[in-house]
Amino acid sequence: MAKAKTVYACTECGGASPKWQGQCPHCGAWNTLVESLAAPAPTRFESVAGVRSAVTPLASVTAQESERIPTGLSEFDRVLGGGLVAGGVALLGGDPGIGKSTLLLQASAALGATRKTLYVTGEESVEQVALRAQRLGLVQAPIELLAEVQLEAIVAAISGLAPEVVIVDSIQTVYTEALQSAPGSVAQVRECAAQLTRLAKKSGVVIVFVGHVTKEGALAGPRVLEHIVDTVLYFEGDPHSSFRLVRAIKNRFGAANELGVFAMTERGLRGVTNPSALFLSQHGAPVAGSVVTATLEGSRPLLVEVQALVDPVQGGTPRRLAVGLDPQRLALLLAVLHRHGGVDTGGYDVFVNAVGGVRIGEPAGDLAILLAVESSLKNRPLPEKSIVFGEVGLAGEVRPVQRGQERIREAVKLGFTTVFVPAANRPRQAIDGARVIAVQRVDEALAALREL
Ligand code: TYD
Ligand code: MG
């Protein structure tokens, strides 16, 4: 018998090397190469989809919108871009215990009413799934369960049952006999996901994988899964709060960066239709260091409270801590505040936090962070019902942000009355009941704040 060919695959980037080395030649990571069976020659996505590689003029191709299969959970459908797509493969990643199985069981129950749905559980027994269904009030849901971890058996079950939707919870537990490496290893996860994906493309079944996130925050089996599947969703949330966010990182069938918001209740996940209210903490009166900003999450504006605490250094070097935003960005903003606003925080510890476990990824929150720092430093709250957004440049300019009007509208809708915006985002028409403070520079914003 020919000896099976082995390669050394990097657990960080998935890159393969013919021999073991201390450093991955592809991504430069150290001690990440593990032995695995040589994967079959990489198949391009097109050939997986069964499309012949004939050359076709673009104009002669008739684009067809793929049919959407709504999951019945509107927030989940929003991140998916309207629902699951036949033949599409999605990956739902997240920390253990965040609610992946709960969400997918709820979605299966709703889907099962109209589509044959198979729930493959590799982590829990069917009894455990039934227990969860009982808790969710879904015992009567028309779902087929399969407790199985062997790929060949799962494929056989799918062929036999011919479901329209398959949930695989989780892909890390699935293994194939064809490989000797342990279940959960890079080679196993990659091979099993690739085979199931091929099956989905060939048969038109929808497959949703559950994937665990490693301690470092990467999907285990690492990034190899992300480019195999069509849609990558991440489940995130502060373990101490009941709110859960599902974020689309990649979506071949819809917008990436879309956000779905859920609350974990006693009886499962409930979609939150007005998420802006969530990320604002309830203060009886205005509080120094607290500023509300409007970020854009996918297609919708989201109001988020930024809190800063600026406190004299207790010996040693001043500390800078950012939760829910980039610490480098905070350092940069403090430098701008010093140089262009004349506000020196060198002798202070600066802590900044985005409330509610949300992450502010876009620079539109810059001005809010600056004003929060200034407000805490001077111990002077902003006027009640103020909202601030704008990107801050290194030259001290306040730059416009995209879709400023929508952000302002969302804020006004929620009762905000004072709006700090970049001059270029100033609304063309006055807004009823709102005072707009449009600024071009950081010092202008600080001066306006001091006059209020
Ligand atoms: P689960 O879906 O099992 O998480 P995952 O599959 O991502 O590991 O969710 C587990 C947590 O959710 C657990 O801590 C209990 C909680 N939970 C509720 O609060 N309410 C519910 O109705 C359910 C089913 C779970
Ligand atoms: Mg689970």
pLDDT tens per residue across span 309-320: 999 998 889 999
Pairing of strands 398-399, 391-392: antiparallel
Q: Which ligand is nearest to the CA of 105?
A: 1
Does ligand 1 lie within 6 Å of residue 94's CB atom?
yes
Q: How far is the CA of 417 from the centre of ligand 2 (A)?
A: 44
CA trace torsion 406, 298, 296, 408 (10° rounding): 10
The fraction of the chain above a pLDDT of 90, given in percent, is: 57
Angle at 239 between CA 233 and CA 243, to 5 degrees: 65
Q: Which ligand is nearest to the CA of 131?
A: 1
Q: Which atom of ligand 1 is nearest to the CA of 264?
A: 19
Q: What is the pLDDT of residue 236?
A: 84
The string of pLDDT tens digits covering residues 410-448 is: 888 888 999 999 999 998 888 887 899 999 999 999 999
Q: How far is the CA of 180 from the centre of ligand 2 (A)?
A: 25
Q: Model pTM? A: 0.76
Q: What is the pLDDT of residue 310?
A: 97
Q: Which atom of ligand 1 is nearest to the CA of 268?
A: 22
Does ligand 1 lie within 6 Å of residue 263's CB atom?
no
Does ligand 1 lie within 6 Å of residue 268's CB atom?
yes
Q: Which atom of ligand 1 is nearest to the CA of 105?
A: 2
Pairing of strands 300-312, 348-354: antiparallel
Q: Which ligand is nearest to the CA of 132?
A: 1
The fraction of the chain above a pLDDT of 70, given in percent, is: 93
Q: Which ligand is nearest to the CA of 104?
A: 1
The string of pLDDT tens digits covering residues 37-60 is: 665 555 555 555 555 678 888 888
Q: How far is the CA of 102 from the centre of ligand 1 (A)?
A: 6
| Cβ contacts of 263-268, under 8 Å, gap ≥ 24 | 264/99, 264/102, 267/135, 267/136, 267/137, 268/102, 268/106, 268/135, 268/136
Question: 432 in helix, strand or coil?
Answer: coil
Q: What is the DSSP letter of 225?
A: H
Q: What is the pLDDT of residue 44?
A: 54
**Residue 40 or residue 255, greater confidence:** 255
Confidence of residue 152 (pLDDT cuts 50, 70, 90): very high
Does ligand 1 lie within 6 Å of residue 130's CB atom?
no
Q: Whose CA is nearest to atom 11 of ligand 1?
A: 97
Torsion sign, CA atoms 190, 196, 199, 204: negative
Q: What is the pLDDT of residue 37?
A: 66
- Mean pLDDT, residues 201-217: 84
Confidence of residue 15 (pLDDT cuts 50, 70, 90): confident
- Mean pLDDT, residues 102-131: 95
**Residue 284 or residue 332, greater confidence:** 332
Residue type, 113: A
Please report where in the chains the tokens 């952000």 appear, as a residue. Answer: 407
Distance of CA 99 to the CA centre of its chain: 14
Confidence of residue 218 (pLDDT cuts 50, 70, 90): low
- Testing ligand 1's pocket by substitution, the residue of 73, 95, 100, 102 carrying the most ligand atoms inside 8 A of its CB is 102
The string of pLDDT tens digits covering residues 370-405 is: 999 999 999 999 998 899 999 999 999 999 999 998
